[in-house]
Amino acid sequence: MNILSNSLKLYLEQYREMLSHRNMTKSTHKSYPTYLLAYFYYLDDVLHKLPEDVSWQELRDFLVYIKSKRNLADRTINICISQIRFFYLYVLHKPWDSTQVPFRKFDTYLPEVPTKKEVAIFLSSMTDLKQRSMVTLMYSAGLRISEVCILRCKDIQSDKMKIYIRSSKGRCDRYAVLSPKALALLRKYWISYRPKTYLFPKQRGKDLPIDTFYLSRHIHAHEERLGWQQRFTCHSFRHAFATHLYEDGADLLDIKAMLGHKSLNSTTIYVQLASNGIRVAKSPLDTLEDL
């Protein structure tokens, strides 16, 4: 891949500057230039044009090109479109026509959710105390892996039996429930590891939060040790938390608050996933007496 031209390098610097002015999160700063860079390389290597000279058709051709070359899902193509749209609006200061480059429709699939029995087997058979503590927190409090990784020791408020979640998705702080069983496990973990600032720091180096990808590979490795297929991810245990709560009779609004969802629409998926949800609803056909 060729080195970017000076003009495109300048555009990239302006793009990052505008991300700062928009006060985007650190994760956005890291992820947002991903496909814009691919677009810039395409301009340099294929079109030999600057962004302001590209036609809508050429932009659509790039999306077809990158989808086929990298085998990208439709959701990912929409991320790519969002990044380029931000560049057009905030760097080129050109209007964006969504009728020329529309977002793609995509299929939505229900996630794999471990049953209560599977969660019990998974957690009880984990021998690594750090990994077990992290997975236990995801399941017991419905946390995202990113939220677990940036937890500070002081966020575990045992006197209130709450966990303080800072800077979660949507940039909203919240409190999560602290399970007595999870607290007992965390105390064992703290005695063994003695973390200072972050509850789960990097294994080496400064006192920094552990990387989010650390646990993913260990979850798959543990599935393999159990002889299970690789079905679950870190997020599966957050889904399990909400699904099992709903099965036990919790209100959707309460689950929404505990998960930190902005919209109830994001929470209603657990009606579909719960064993006592739609699957046990009675069809009106079966209430007809004359059939």
**pLDDT at residue 111 in the model:** 86
- Catalytic one among 130, 132, 144, 256? 144
Task: Quote the tokens at residue 130.
Answer: 């750090």
**pLDDT at residue 1 in the model:** 45
Q: Are 186 and 156 in contact (CB under 8 A)?
A: yes
Distance CA 159, CA 156 (A): 9
Percent of the chain with pLDDT over 70: 95
Mutual angle of helices 116-124 and 213-226, in 10-degree steps: 100
Higher pLDDT, 279 or 273: 273
- Catalytic one among 85, 162, 169, 202? 169
**pLDDT at residue 253 in the model:** 92
State the DSSP string of 157-172: ETTTTEEEE-S-TTS-
- Catalytic one among 222, 238, 239, 256? 238
Distance CA 218, CA 47 (A): 43
Q: Is 39 a catalytic residue?
A: no
Please write the tens of the pLDDT for every residue from 20-53: 998 887 777 777 888 999 999 999 999 999 999 9
**pLDDT at residue 210 in the model:** 92
Task: Assess whether pLDDT exceeds 50 at residue 250.
Answer: yes
Q: Is 270 a catalytic residue?
A: yes
Please write the tens of the pLDDT for every residue from 148-192: 999 999 999 999 999 999 876 667 889 999 999 999 999 999 999
Percent of the chain with pLDDT over 90: 71
**pLDDT at residue 7 in the model:** 87
Q: Is 60 a catalytic residue?
A: no
Distance CA 71, CA 117 (A): 36
When pLDDT is averaged across residues 85-111 and rounded to a whole number, the result is: 92
All structural domains of the chain, each given as residue ranges with its CATH number in brackets, are 6-92 (1.10.150.130), 116-278 (1.10.443.10)
